[in-house]
A and B are shown apart, each in its own frame.
Chain A
Amino acid sequence: MITAGIDMGAKTIKVVIVDDGNMVGKAMTIAGFEATESAERAYTTALGEAGLAEGDVERIASTGAGRRYAPHAKHDVSEVKCAVKGAIDLYPNARTVIDVGAEEGRAIRCTEDGNVMDFALNEKCAAGAGAFTEAMSRALEVKVEELGPMSVKSTNAIPMNAQCAVFAESEVVSLLHAKTPKEDIARAVHDAIASRIVSLARKVGFEPDVVLIGGLARNVGFVDSLQRALGCDVLIPSDPEYIGAYGAALAARAG
Chain B
Amino acid sequence: MEMVISAQMTDKSEHNQEVRQILDRLRSRDNGRDTGVRLMIIGSEDDDTAFIRMVESCGATFVVDEHCTGTRYFWNDVEPRDDRLEAIAARYIDRVPCPSKDWVDRTRIPHILELAREWNVGGAIVMQQKFCDPHELDTPAIRKALEEAGIKTLFLEFDVTVPMGQFKVRVEAFLEMLAEEDLFE
Q: Is A173 part of the binding interface, using a Cβ–Cβ cutoff of 8 Å?
A: yes
C-alpha spacing A90/B163, complex, angstroms: 44
Q: Is A178 part of the binding interface, using a Cβ–Cβ cutoff of 8 Å?
A: yes
Interface residues of B in 121-175 (CB under 8 A from A): 159-161, 163-166
Measured between C-beta atoms, what is the minimum distance from A167 to chain B in Å? 7
Residues of B within 8 A of A173 (CB): 165
A174 with B164: CB separation less than 8 A: yes
C-alpha spacing A161/B163, complex, angstroms: 8
Q: Is A89 part of the binding interface, using a Cβ–Cβ cutoff of 8 Å?
A: no
Residues of B within 8 A of A170 (CB): 163, 165-166
Q: Is A233 part of the binding interface, using a Cβ–Cβ cutoff of 8 Å?
A: no
- With an 8 Å Cβ cutoff, the count of chain B residues facing the other chain is 7
Per-position 1/0 for A163-192, Cβ under 8 A of B = 100010011011001100000000000000
B161 with A174: CB separation less than 8 A: no
Q: Nearest chain-A residue to B165 (Cβ)?
A: A174
A163 with B159: CB separation less than 8 A: yes
Q: How many A-B residue pairs have CB under 8 A?
A: 23
C-alpha spacing A159/B161, complex, angstroms: 8
Residues of A within 8 A of B165 (CB): 170-171, 173-174, 177-178
Q: Is the interface of A mostly helix, strand, loop or mixed?
A: helix
Q: Is A160 part of the binding interface, using a Cβ–Cβ cutoff of 8 Å?
A: yes
Residues of B within 8 A of A163 (CB): 159-161
Q: Nearest chain-B residue to A164 (Cβ)?
A: B159
B166 with A161: CB separation less than 8 A: no
Per-position 1/0 for A31-74, Cβ under 8 A of B = 00000000000000000000000000000000000000000000
C-alpha spacing A178/B163, complex, angstroms: 13
B160 with A174: CB separation less than 8 A: no
Residues of B within 8 A of A178 (CB): 165
Residues of A within 8 A of B166 (CB): 170, 174
Q: Nearest chain-A residue to B159 (Cβ)?
A: A163
B159 with A171: CB separation less than 8 A: no
B160 with A161: CB separation less than 8 A: yes
A174 with B159: CB separation less than 8 A: no
Residues of B within 8 A of A177 (CB): 165
Per-position 1/0 for B96-139, Cβ under 8 A of A = 00000000000000000000000000000000000000000000
Interface residues of B in 59-118 (CB under 8 A from A): none
Residues in A lying within 8 Å of B, measured CB to CB: 159-161, 163, 167, 170-171, 173-174, 177-178
A-B contact pairs, 6 of them (CB 8 A): A163-B159, A167-B163, A170-B166, A171-B163, A174-B165, A178-B165
Residues in B lying within 8 Å of A, measured CB to CB: 159-161, 163-166
Beyond the given A170-B163, A174-B164, please list 19 additional residue pairs across the A-B interface where CB-CB is below 8 A: A159-B161, A160-B161, A161-B159, A161-B160, A161-B161, A161-B163, A163-B159, A163-B160, A163-B161, A167-B163, A170-B165, A170-B166, A171-B161, A171-B165, A173-B165, A174-B163, A174-B166, A177-B165, A178-B165
Which 6 interchain pairs have the tightest Cβ spacing? Answer: A174-B165, A161-B161, A171-B163, A159-B161, A170-B163, A174-B163
